[in-house]
Chains A and B, each alone.
Chain A
């Protein structure tokens, strides 16, 4: 009995959406530890009591990706995709930096809040443009958001007049660089937002409705769900979250680099969502999976750098991760595994049922 209970526990774990992501993170960390046994060590900075270490760096780096991955999870669950998030990060960063440099006062909390509010308002409006194009005009999400992906960076350039604007504002900087009880603020913020969004979509019927749209928009409409409004909300949310990610990433250096801020981060977000086990065809999402996915991407980025490989080569390793995950998820590879399992007699029945299903 205990043996059976044990195997079912493991089987449940393996089928958790984020299982393979966690395995990959552990493997990467182990690789780092092989190179340097003290890699995982955390120490406390005696001056300010903050935790210092590679793990903390990974958490900090993962935060912006987590932000856009939450929005992307919901958008992908509706059967869509949001390619504009990277550009929206640049827009948000540009707005915030311009506002702060115009405000001038480097200690004012009001200026920081104003910059954040204005940046999020504008990204929400741009997200709404995506949403209207997808929900009301009926464009394919891929192409609707592609337009803003192309135009977004241009908009950011126009806002800053083509400059990489710098500003100084301590409260704003604190969001990206500060620590609370030794843990980076960005990471706490990211975890809070994952929890809040996760709680809202899972405790209400919102998550279910979003998934229903992704599975079959017509059927969901007949079941009394209003897909248009929900789609619009999803894209606005994705825009706002991209705005927060933009604030996080410009805040750490207090400069917006219009051509590099958030560059290709939409791809990282999609990757995080896929690692988290969501189906790109829509109808299924897992915020915890996307959370793990974002952590995996940050770990991968750090590891590649740590192993002394040029950071511009990281995409090749990401590609290997994507391909491996896609193969693991594919029906063909799964049926290979099933065939091998058929040796055990009691398994045979269930395998056949699965095939039939």
Chain B
């Protein structure tokens, strides 16, 4: 981390390449993150050359709009994974929170109250996971697995049909597309309030993780929980906090997704926890904790999103290959991380 903060003082005399090389030499754990940036750029270039119409405002806007919720989830998982934990419940929190939210909204609740309730549901789930992990010594994997079951089950108890958000609901405004630049034909630069919210979440997470005491504690717990305790860091409080952050962000992701789609169902979000974990891992977050960057996870989420775009554009790749390719990319990045951490230890 120190490399990132001290580098700007010297950067004037060196080229970007030198700087990157020096960063890797000093801190090999940035390598997977850099690799994911390279892959992302490579995918864009490849897509532009092979299929065209990738590097244009319309496509890139859609990439952001369609993946805003995944970006938020990836940020959520980054916090948890950095402490060496895992949160499997985010996908089903989205299901529960969006079904409950749509039903509340249709029952006549105020939009703000609904949004607060949706985020609140996630926060409550986070608190339960955190307390199970912190006070009862339950492994993060199993505690959040229980929450995953609970969320999915409760969502199914509420309703098993697609619930439609009222056309006049103010929540829909979050998903409304706002034209920023009116390009020729349909090539417009468009954003939605959801994208803005996602960007704000990323910025806030970046600030918390890299500029505050809480962030340093998160990294310290992932490095060695015992050492962090001995240093007098608020380990216990922070451990509960990361699950509350993760749950609340999952609730927020539910708001963004529901606003865009306008419907919610008990099967929404199946497997999204894995997408979010994959995004974090592809972005260079090491699953054992302590290494990783929020911005890396964002790139990871965009790599996954872009991959879907490319597969749809190609048309020749059967859609069932998507999961195989995701698995393949994930494997490559994990092997890369493994190589990096092994070299570091030697």
14 A-B pairs with C-beta separation under 8 A: A137-B338, A138-B338, A139-B334, A142-B287, A154-B321, A154-B327, A157-B320, A158-B320, A162-B320, A267-B145, A280-B142, A312-B153, A319-B150, A326-B143
Chain A interface main SS type:
helix
Chain B neighbourhood of A149, CB < 8 A:
274
Which of B's residues lie within 8 Å of A, judged by CB?
A: 86, 92, 132, 135-139, 141-143, 145-150, 152-154, 156-157, 160, 266-267, 274, 277-278, 281, 287-288, 318, 320-324, 326-328, 330-331, 334-335, 338, 342
Asked if A331 is an interface residue, CB under 8 A from chain B, the answer is: yes
Docked Cα-Cα span, A331 to B137, in Å, equals 7
A313 touches B156 (CB 8 A): yes
B142 touches A322 (CB 8 A): yes
Interface centre among B137, B156, B288, B323 (most CB of A within 10 A): B323
Within 8 A of B (CB), among A192-212: none
B136 touches A267 (CB 8 A): no
Asked if A113 is an interface residue, CB under 8 A from chain B, the answer is: no
Chain B neighbourhood of A320, CB < 8 A:
150
CB distance from A266 to the nearest CB of B (A): 10
Chain A neighbourhood of B320, CB < 8 A:
154, 157-158, 162
CB-contact partner of A333 in B136, B152, B287, under 8 A:
B136
* Known contacts A143-B334, A146-B330, A150-B330; A267 and B132 CB within 8 A of each other: no
Chain B neighbourhood of A143, CB < 8 A:
281, 287, 330, 334
Docked Cα-Cα span, A194 to B318, in Å, equals 40
A147 touches B146 (CB 8 A): no
Mark contacts of A322-353 with chain B using CB atoms, 8 A cut-off: 1 yes-contact digit, 0 otherwise: 11001100111100000000000000000000
Chain A neighbourhood of B278, CB < 8 A:
146, 150
B138 touches A330 (CB 8 A): yes
* Known contacts A138-B342, A281-B139, A323-B146; A150 and B153 CB within 8 A of each other: no
Docked Cα-Cα span, A142 to B267, in Å, equals 24
Docked Cα-Cα span, A320 to B147, in Å, equals 9
Asked if A317 is an interface residue, CB under 8 A from chain B, the answer is: yes
Chain B neighbourhood of A228, CB < 8 A:
none
Docked Cα-Cα span, A157 to B320, in Å, equals 6
Docked Cα-Cα span, A151 to B328, in Å, equals 8
Chain B neighbourhood of A327, CB < 8 A:
132, 136
Interface residues on A, range: 35 or more
Asked if A240 is an interface residue, CB under 8 A from chain B, the answer is: no
Docked Cα-Cα span, A181 to B330, in Å, equals 49
* Known contacts A267-B145, A312-B156, A319-B149; A162 and B327 CB within 8 A of each other: no
Chain A neighbourhood of B135, CB < 8 A:
332
B157 touches A310 (CB 8 A): yes
Chain B neighbourhood of A314, CB < 8 A:
153
* Known contacts A146-B277, A150-B323, A319-B153; A140 and B288 CB within 8 A of each other: yes
CB distance from B134 to the nearest CB of A (A): 10
B132 touches A326 (CB 8 A): yes
Asked if A16 is an interface residue, CB under 8 A from chain B, the answer is: no
B145 touches A147 (CB 8 A): no
Chain A neighbourhood of B160, CB < 8 A:
310, 312
A81 touches B156 (CB 8 A): no
* Known contacts A138-B342, A151-B327; A312 and B266 CB within 8 A of each other: yes
Chain B neighbourhood of A147, CB < 8 A:
327-328, 330-331, 334
Chain B neighbourhood of A333, CB < 8 A:
136
Docked Cα-Cα span, A314 to B160, in Å, equals 13
* Known contacts A140-B288, A143-B334, A281-B139; A316 and B154 CB within 8 A of each other: yes
B142 touches A274 (CB 8 A): yes
B318 touches A158 (CB 8 A): yes
Docked Cα-Cα span, A313 to B325, in Å, equals 32
Within 8 A of B (CB), among A10-24: none
B153 touches A140 (CB 8 A): no
Asked if A144 is an interface residue, CB under 8 A from chain B, the answer is: yes
Asked if A148 is an interface residue, CB under 8 A from chain B, the answer is: yes
Asked if A215 is an interface residue, CB under 8 A from chain B, the answer is: no
Contacts A151-B323, A158-B321 supplied; 10 other A-B pairs, CB < 8 Å: A137-B338, A155-B324, A162-B318, A317-B153, A318-B146, A319-B147, A319-B153, A322-B145, A323-B146, A330-B138
B141 touches A142 (CB 8 A): yes
CB-contact partner of A150 in B145, B146, B274, under 8 A:
B274
Docked Cα-Cα span, A142 to B328, in Å, equals 15
A153 touches B323 (CB 8 A): yes
Chain B neighbourhood of A319, CB < 8 A:
146-150, 153
Interface centre among A138, A149, A151 (most CB of B within 10 A): A151
Chain B neighbourhood of A151, CB < 8 A:
323-324, 326-328
Within 8 A of B (CB), among A268-311: 270, 274, 280-281, 309-310
- CB nearest neighbor in B for A148: B327
Asked if A315 is an interface residue, CB under 8 A from chain B, the answer is: yes
Docked Cα-Cα span, A267 to B149, in Å, equals 9
Docked Cα-Cα span, A320 to B128, in Å, equals 12
Docked Cα-Cα span, A74 to B253, in Å, equals 37
B328 touches A315 (CB 8 A): no
Interface centre among B156, B328, B342 (most CB of A within 10 A): B156
A332 touches B137 (CB 8 A): yes
Chain A neighbourhood of B267, CB < 8 A:
312
Chain A neighbourhood of B143, CB < 8 A:
326
CB distance from B224 to the nearest CB of A (A): 17
Chain B neighbourhood of A157, CB < 8 A:
318, 320
CB-contact partner of A315 in B139, B153, B322, B331, under 8 A:
B153
Chain B neighbourhood of A146, CB < 8 A:
274, 277-278, 330
B335 touches A137 (CB 8 A): yes
CB distance from B315 to the nearest CB of A (A): 15
Chain A neighbourhood of B335, CB < 8 A:
137, 139
CB distance from B272 to the nearest CB of A (A): 12
Chain A neighbourhood of B136, CB < 8 A:
326-327, 330-333
Docked Cα-Cα span, A153 to B271, in Å, equals 12
CB distance from A265 to the nearest CB of B (A): 13
* Known contacts A142-B86, A267-B145, A310-B156; A154 and B323 CB within 8 A of each other: yes
A316 touches B149 (CB 8 A): yes
9 nearest A-B pairs in the assembled complex, by CB-CB distance? A316-B153, A151-B327, A157-B320, A319-B150, A319-B149, A312-B156, A154-B323, A154-B324, A315-B149
Chain B neighbourhood of A274, CB < 8 A:
142
